[in-house]
Chains A and B, each alone.
Chain A
Amino acid sequence: MSASLPHRSVANIRAPTPSSRSGSHRERESSSHRDRDRDRGERGDRDHSGTSTPTRPIPTFNTPSSLRAEEELIVIDFGTRKVQVGFAGDSAPRGVVWFGPEQQRRIGDFRDWQTDYQQDWRSKAAGGNWGRDYELWRPDVRGLELGQVGDKVEKAVREAYTKYMLIDSRPRRMVCVVPTGLPIPLLSAALDSLFHRFQPPTVSLLSSPVAVTVAAGVRSALVVDLGWNETIVTSVYEYREVASKSTVRGGRKLTEETHRFLAKELGHVQQDNKDDKQEYVLSFEECHDIANRLVWCKPFKAEKTPKSSPPQPASPEGEGLATVEESDEDEPTTTTTTAGEKPLPPPPKVTTVPIRSGRSPTSLELTFDQLSEPCENTFFDSQYSLSSFDDHETPVHLLVYRTLLQLPLDVRALCMSRIIFTGGCTTVLGLRKRIFDEVSHIVQERGWDPVYGKAKEQLRTNPKLKKRNGRQTTMNNNNNNTSTTPGGVSPPTAGGAAGEGTAAPPGQEEDGIWHDAANSVPEVDPIEAQLARTNPSPNSRKPLHGQLRAIESLGPWAGGSLITHLKVPTVSTIDKDQWTQHGVTGATVRAADVEAKTQQRLSWNAMNRGGREGKEPWTLGVWGAA
């Protein structure tokens, strides 16, 4: 028996009995590959009986590690403050690189590490540049050096490569998770930098709201991205973005409000002349730190607002408190206790905040009521009437409501029960709940009716007009759980067609045409129908819709990682050669063209794939074309 042989000899190859060889081979599993290959080759020549056991049972499927390494896809999530980089399929990014002034220093400049070094933030802040060093880009590209954006991207990705990913500089395919509203020059600068410095064969673009939706496990969602530059509310329906609105109320504004608040507490009189010539008394870093640590959000107070939103600039308690306390800071008095779930005990809780970056280091004693003030001013500004805001500075809760209101009925019904909060400002304690409560309050108060105010109230209470809508009103009364009061001119209400919602008027008059939603047959959802066909289990739950609900998401990076890992093709995949030839101008405007062409091409030469034509159209998808 060759089991006794420690090594395989030539004689053993040449003259074994076929039966003994198969047995001996298994014991020689640990012998070298070359031996085995030789062995197999000989068997193929001489031994066609097929009765012997396969020589390499499993190892055939073990892919060589070099091929596996090539499969590494890199997912990059671009944010304004940080870049997250990792491998597709991981649950969290390997590395997060924050932008900051240290990163923009020359290599070999170690002054940050000198003990007596203090950053001269004051001169840098001049000309509206307070905190600009901490951002990758800003949405306003006027006066922005695009090459520098590219440099920043490169440095951050390189740092992620060497420090966190620990990979060499072999070209790898990349997937970029990018906010939808990113201006094309910025996108182009970032892509230039990636293609030039890292030489990826392709870069695919993923929209971050969709990635957030995927990372929550749903198909439709309302993504409230409380980001740095702005808060963007995007409605995603069946993985497509259908509506998006934004407001400047984001992390940057929160930090600025914190600065304003701290400056006021320090006794600096702020002349409020439109932020252009604003003088900064504290460094960005310190204000940002305090905002991160201590600023919180008060819970929603139901009795605060009267039934219909008052047009006069009311003074709610939160704001009144702040203005009172401005005069006497030394003994902070809580004139009001927060009503609701969490009553404050009479001695106000105080924290001592050291201030280091001012002209002279001091410390401030701040009450928690005061510390909620920046958040209040940033996201809600509830001392002003809701009608007094410009389009770009809508308070966040109103923005969420308006986005929902704008949506078609079915989409709204799905989106309102899948609200996802994401972005950096979700760390502000209590902010998500506050927004959610405010939105549900507006919904309770107004329903899904774009018309509101005194005139509408009058219309509602006017008996003469009521008569005309008599039938509808009685039906409303019958339909017991209507928390809203739909007027005569109300547009479709969420959940109306589905019949599950809290607000369900059975029929409306829209543009003079009578829609009897109660008697109409609900439209068949093809996907639901197919799902029901393929998976006819009785206890499968219907997806919830028609009521407000918030769900968690793992965030855009994890979404991008999931999508890439599942090999879902992206609409916008940019080839390196094409980008090198044409740049952003080569992109086709319409994604539909590309899809049609790609399908055509696939049907044409499904066989000789790999012969990539240079004229193959490609698109930037939702990011548009230059």
Chain B
Amino acid sequence: MFGNNRLPAFHPGLTQSRIRDTTTGSRLWFPGLRSAPPSESSPSDSDPANDQLPLPITPEDLYDTPMAPFNPYTYIRCPCSELNPYAKRTPDVTAQGLSRAAQDDDDHTFDPRAARSNYSLYPLEYLSFCEDCHQIRCPRCVAEEIVCYYCPNCLFEVPSSNIRSEGNRCTRSCFQCPICIGPLAVNHVETPPDPNQLLSPDHAASSHSGSYILSCSYCNWSSTEIGIKFDKPNSIHMQLAKLRNGGETRLTAKERKERRKEQASQGGGGGSSSTAHGEEDLDTLLDMETQFANLKSFYQNQLSDANGTGKAGGDASAALGNLGFDAPASLSRIMSLYTGSSSLHDKKSKSRPGTMREALAPSEGLQLASLDETSAITALQDFEPITGLDAYSSTASTTQLQSQAPYLGASPLHGLTRFTSSLRPISYLLRTKRSKRCPQCRHIISKPESKVTTTRFRIRLIAGNYIPTITIKQLIIPGLTPPPMPNLPPDTIEPLKPAQFVLTFKNPIFESVRVTLATPATTPGRFPSKVTILCPQFEIDSNTDVWEEALKDNNATSSSSQSQNLSSSTGPEGSGPGGRKRAGTLRPGTAGGASLAGEELGPEVGKVWERGRNWTSIVIEVIPASLVQTAKRDGRGPIKEDEDVLEIPMFVRIEWEAEAPEDEIMPGLSSAKGNKDGGKEKRELAYWCVLGLGRVARTL
């Protein structure tokens, strides 16, 4: 199809803003920069067709979404999402899947609106490029290695051995506010001397009245709201681990272990003596950490008893325990390391299914459920005693709860906090610096500096340095483009009218690149818009030095038109003198009257629109579908979020000739074809990308 045929004739009704545009000489209209909305009238008074329609699509529906200014965008689909080895085999039960499978065979076009495509689309800035495989690498298809761990708040590096033992959070004094996740600061508070405590001996007074609090400077939350104060201004993490909300102290895991060891040494027998005193504390509340530890030691005892021959096995493991292996599991892990058996197929435990009993006491990990939650219910119903808030305001929101760190000091189900008074300061999650490797050739793609505070990279192969960038602008030629409908909302494309966009491809590499574009004739998905690429094949000059370009400026015209002729697929008419060529900054509008009179006929088929040092622009023409009419016809509900954005899937294939690596034929590289002549090697890269052109107006 030829875009020229679709262009309507000159329309006399030019709006003010258009004329002003011509006077300033800018020929491209940026949708985001348009000065004023032509009209704000509601569609129902100007559009009688809307009223006749029986379906309940109200004007409210049409303008429901806030009209944020739209910026055209480009997303690139990483080719790795096509390489799923399981895609063909998985039985696809859905009808949708079956119909898609039929298309899948060869003629498979990419649908940016499909539910899955959001997971494989990336902006160019997020992509890397493997120089050896000549392939785009997305965050999903790189192998990562950790360079260092650090706290994003204090920027201290954490050694990797601490990650396993201390967990994934900062163990210094870095905390986030549980209400607003702002950073918390340690502040000193002056506590008025308590007369009772003055009377009491000094030790008791000083040990319990902390004088440091955590406070949020953003929402004024402070740890006094949960009844926690600290003795020291440093190592808050350790102090907090020992405190429950309300200031009550609790044993940490290490202390508990020591205490248990004492008990065991006193009681001697271990299991039997613990059950004896386990009788009375059957309803004591274990916190999660304790229960897990108790369960673990209980099971380990049981398993070692069952696997070993009764008492002897237990003694043996106890003897080993004195040597530094406190758990039989650790022994078996070491054994398995040296014998090479995998831990999941532990032969020993498989061949001899041991007998073990269930846990009977809290010391063994059994915890009776206290189902009586009336205290919490009354707490919910009563006004919060301190703050005077009602039930809604005194409960924590779902997002607040989800950002809480798991608190092991609470008993299992009661640990799921509900009230804001039971929230705890969130210790900062540590972060990592990672280096990335190509999963195939194992070459490093990105490697940051190992120091925490530097943002520099040693190696960083980003895709923007290898594949052309695409920028999109709407093309408005005064006199050729019909004026928009008067009631069109701002920043939108008119449905059912051809609109033209200029795509500018900028070449980052030092070889000239030949680009082939392809797009489905109509966009896939619910709202099929017609798409025509006016010049699907073209060449971009190499990214040479700027000065070189300036020196060559005189004869640049002839060379570029030749190269365009070579690339143009549409045959002889491209070679004529009318072949459009615009050099860099030179605009015909300002150049003189000749271009205005003779050549201002709009974009031509098969011709490059504009061309510069390392960039080439082409024109793409779309006829957007009518959203409202289609939505009424197909009965699939109202227009969803972002469904009004005109998105075009485009298959981009770029070819270039690169310096061949000296006589090195790399195995398994499909993209690098061994077509060598004179040290040059032909390379190609192909991928899908998605162009977001603009919002289609929800009129008509």
Contact = CB atoms under 8 A, between A and B. Distances in A.
Interface residues of B, number: 125
A107 B115 contact: no
Nearest to B357: A531
B144 A169 contact: yes
Given A127-B637, A218-B358, A552-B367, A569 B275 contact: no
15 contacts: A71-B337, A89-B296, A144-B94, A167-B146, A168-B146, A169-B144, A351-B392, A427-B413, A429-B380, A552-B411, A554-B288, A566-B303, A573-B345, A584-B91, A598-B350
Contact of B275 (A71, A107, A118, A541): A541
Contact of B641 (A61, A120, A151): A120
B368 A552 contact: yes
Contacts of B337: 63, 67, 71
B341 interface: yes
Interface string B143-161: 1111001000000000001
Listed from nearest, the 5 A-B pairs whose CB atoms lie closest are: A217-B359, A126-B637, A91-B292, A433-B371, A351-B391
A56 interface: no
B326 interface: no
Given A145-B114, A567-B344, 17 more contacts: A98-B402, A104-B119, A106-B75, A106-B121, A108-B126, A120-B64, A123-B637, A141-B93, A143-B96, A155-B119, A167-B146, A188-B90, A292-B398, A351-B392, A551-B367, A567-B343, A626-B91
A573 to B, nearest CB: 6
Interface stretch (B81-89, B604-612, B658-666): B81-89
A114 B90 CA distance: 39
Contact of B97 (A146, A197, A296): A146
Contacts of A105: 118
Interface in A558-599: 558, 562, 564-570, 573, 580, 583-585, 598-599
B378 interface: yes
A116 B66 contact: yes
Nearest to B269: A537
Interface of B: 64-66, 68, 75, 84-87, 89-97, 114-116, 118-119, 121-123, 125-126, 139-140, 142-146, 149, 161, 163-164, 167-168, 271-272, 275-276, 288-289, 291-293, 295-296, 298-300, 303, 305, 310, 324, 329, 332-334, 337, 340-347, 349-351, 355-360, 364-369, 371-374, 376-378, 380-382, 390-392, 395-398, 401-402, 406, 408, 411-413, 416, 418, 429-432, 434, 636-641, 643
Interface of A: 58, 61, 63, 65, 67, 71, 73, 87, 89, 91-96, 98, 104-108, 111, 114, 116-120, 122-124, 126-127, 141-148, 151, 154-155, 158, 162-170, 173, 185, 188-189, 192, 195-197, 202, 204, 215-220, 285, 288-289, 292-294, 296, 299, 341-342, 349-354, 368, 420-421, 426-427, 429-430, 432-433, 436, 527-528, 530-531, 534-535, 537, 539-541, 543, 549-555, 558, 562, 564-570, 573, 580, 583-585, 598-599, 602, 606, 609-610, 626
B413 A426 contact: yes
B379 to A, nearest CB: 9
Contacts of A204: 344
A480 B313 CA distance: 47
Contacts of B402: 96, 98
Given A107-B139, A141-B94, A143-B96, A164 B366 contact: no
Contacts of A147: 87, 116
A91 B429 contact: no
B295 to A, nearest CB: 5
A486 to B, nearest CB: 28
Nearest to A61: B334
A489 to B, nearest CB: 33
A116 B68 contact: yes
Contacts of B641: 119-120, 123-124
A341 B373 CA distance: 11
Contacts of B161: 65
B345 A216 contact: no
A606 to B, nearest CB: 7
Contact of B146 (A154, A166, A541, A551): A166
B397 A293 contact: yes
B374 A565 contact: no
A554 B410 CA distance: 11
B343 A73 contact: yes
Contacts of A543: 357-358, 360
A433 B373 contact: yes
Given A142-B94, A436-B371, A117 B68 contact: yes
A282 to B, nearest CB: 14
Nearest to B351: A602
Contacts of A568: 346, 349
A204 B636 CA distance: 41
B413 A146 contact: no
Contacts of A537: 272
Given A350-B390, A540-B275, A94 B167 contact: yes
Contacts of B365: 216-217
Contacts of B125: 108
B651 to A, nearest CB: 19
A570 B168 CA distance: 29
A555 B292 contact: no
Contact of A93 (B96, B142, B406, B643): B406
B295 A217 contact: yes
A201 B658 CA distance: 39
A552 B413 contact: yes
Contacts of B149: 166
A60 to B, nearest CB: 10
Contacts of B406: 92-93, 96
Contact of A565 (B144, B296, B373, B429): B296
Contacts of A352: 390, 392
A540 B97 CA distance: 60
A551 B430 contact: no
Contact of A192 (B84, B97, B359): B84
Contacts of B391: 293-294, 349, 351, 368
Contacts of A94: 167-168
A566 B392 contact: no
A231 to B, nearest CB: 16
Contacts of A569: 344-346, 349-350
A354 B115 CA distance: 33
A168 B324 CA distance: 30
A166 B96 contact: no
User: Which residue, of B298, B368, B373, has the highest number of chain A Cβ atoms within 10 A?
Assistant: B373
Contacts of B292: 91-92, 554, 558, 562
B383 to A, nearest CB: 8
A606 B366 contact: no
Nearest to B84: A196
B88 to A, nearest CB: 10
B413 A539 contact: no
Contacts of B122: 106-108
User: Which residue, of A89, A105, A123, A341, has the highest number of chain B Cβ atoms within 10 A?
Assistant: A123
Given A124-B640, A147-B87, A573 B344 contact: yes
B155 to A, nearest CB: 16
A165 B65 CA distance: 38
Contacts of A148: 115-116, 119
Contacts of A170: 143
A186 to B, nearest CB: 10
A145 B143 contact: no
Nearest to B639: A123
Contacts of A116: 66, 68
Contacts of B397: 289, 293
A436 to B, nearest CB: 6
A192 B92 CA distance: 13
B168 A117 contact: no
B65 to A, nearest CB: 5
B527 to A, nearest CB: 14
B429 A531 contact: no
